[in-house]
Amino acid sequence: MRVKLKLAVAGFSVIAMGSIAGSEINAQVGSERLQFSFTHRMRIETTDRAVCLDADGGCGTSYLRNRMSIKARTFPTRQLELTAQLTNEFRYYLVPENVDFSFHEIFVDLMYVRWDSVANVPLALSVGRQNLTFGEGFVVMDGTPLDGSRSVCFNAARADWTIALGHSLSLVYVNQPVKDKYLPLIHDQNARLIEQPEVAAIAYYSSSWKKSTLQAYFIHKDVESTADYPVGRQISCPGVRLQVPIASRITLVGEGAYQFGTSGEADQRAHGAYGYTEYATGWPMRLPKTITVGGIHLTGDDITTKDDEGWDPLFGRWPKWSESYIYTQIHERAVAYWTNLTSVFLRTTVPVATDLLLSLDYHHLTAPQRPDPQRDFPGGSGTHRGDLFIGKLSYQMNSHLSGHFLFEKFAPGDFYFADADCYGWVRMEMMLRF
Task: Write the pLDDT tens digit of every residue in 185-241.
Answer: 999 999 999 999 999 999 999 999 989 999 999 999 999 999 999 999 999 999 999
DSSP code string of 239-297: EEEEEEE-SSSEEEEEEEEEEEEEETTEEEEEEEEEEEEEEE----TTS-SEEEEEEEE
Q: Tell me if 6 is assigned to some domain.
A: no
Domain boundaries, position 423: 31-433
Report pLDDT digits (tens) over 258-281. 999 999 999 999 999 999 999 999
Report pLDDT digits (tens) over 344-361. 999 999 999 999 999 999
d(Cα 371, Cα 331) in Å, to the nearest integer?
12
Report pLDDT digits (tens) over 234-257. 999 999 999 999 999 999 999 999
Task: Identify the CA nearest to 147 among candidates 185, 201, 173, 114.
Answer: 185
Our count of domains for the chain comes to 1
Q: Tell me if 4 is assigned to some domain.
A: no
Q: Tell me if 370 is assigned to some domain.
A: yes
d(Cα 295, Cα 159) in Å, to the nearest integer?
33
Q: Tell me if 46 is assigned to some domain.
A: yes
pLDDT at residue 262, as a whole number: 98
| CATH number for position 294 | 2.40.160.100
Q: Tell me if 47 is assigned to some domain.
A: yes
Q: What percent of the chain has pLDDT over 70?
A: 93
Q: Tell me if 15 is assigned to some domain.
A: no
pLDDT at residue 33, as a whole number: 84
pLDDT at residue 31, as a whole number: 58
d(Cα 49, Cα 156) in Å, to the nearest integer?
37
- Rounded to two decimals, the pTM is 0.92
Task: Give residue 425's identity as a one-letter amino acid code.
Answer: W
- pLDDT band (50, 70, 90) for residue 16: very low
Q: Tell me if 18 is assigned to some domain.
A: no
pLDDT at residue 126, as a whole number: 98
Report pLDDT digits (tens) over 112-171. 999 999 989 999 999 999 999 999 999 999 999 999 999 999 999 999 999 999 999 999
pLDDT of 8 > 80? The answer is no
- Residue 39's contacts (CB-CB under 8 Å, 6 or more residues apart) are 67, 68, 69, 71, 431, 432, 433
pLDDT at residue 13, as a whole number: 43
Mean pLDDT of the chain: 93
Radius of gyration of the chain from its Cα atoms, rounded to whole angstroms: 23
pLDDT of 290 > 70? The answer is yes
Q: Tell me if 411 is assigned to some domain.
A: yes
Cα separation values, 338 from 139, 244, 343, Å: 11, 26, 12
Please state whether the peptide bond connecting residue 378 to the residue before it is cis, i.e. omega within 30 degrees of 0.
yes
Report pLDDT digits (tens) over 24-73. 333 445 557 899 999 999 999 999 999 999 999 999 999 999 999 999 99
